[in-house]
């Protein structure tokens, strides 16, 4: 196991319940598993310390969960991914 794999394994064990975590060559990326959360849906950082801090203290979501255009047209999301017109 490479050091990079070890770090990824540690991050997934610690934060994997809430986040899908992966690496690119230069970036750490976490995607929120709960799409209805009020936390930011994605965290992208190139610094491991800042990345971990953001996993512990995620910023607020910039917009309401769901598709804003559908909401503005009177649709509501009954269950995740299923939209119903009011």
Longest dimension (CA), the chain: 53
**What percentage of the chain has pLDDT greater than the value 70?**
78
Residues 6+ apart with CB under 8 A from 17: 33
Mean predicted lDDT score pLDDT of the chain = 84
The full set of domain ranges for the chain reads 3-85
Helix, coil or strand: residue 79: strand
What pLDDT, on a 0 to 100 scale, did the predictor assign at position 85?
72
Q: Are 8 and 23 in contact (CB under 8 A)?
A: yes
pTM for this predicted structure: 0.70
């Amino acid at each position: 196991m490479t050091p990079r794999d070890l770090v990824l394994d540690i991050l997934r064990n610690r934060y994997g319940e809430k986040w899908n975590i992966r690496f690119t060559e230069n970036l750490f990326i976490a995607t929120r598993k709960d799409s209805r959360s009020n936390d930011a849906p994605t965290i992208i950082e190139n610094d491991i310390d800042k990345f971990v801090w953001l996993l512990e203290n995620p910023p607020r979501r910039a917009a309401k969960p769901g598709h804003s255009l559908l909401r503005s047209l009177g649709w509501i999301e009954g269950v995740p991914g299923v939209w119903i017109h009011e």
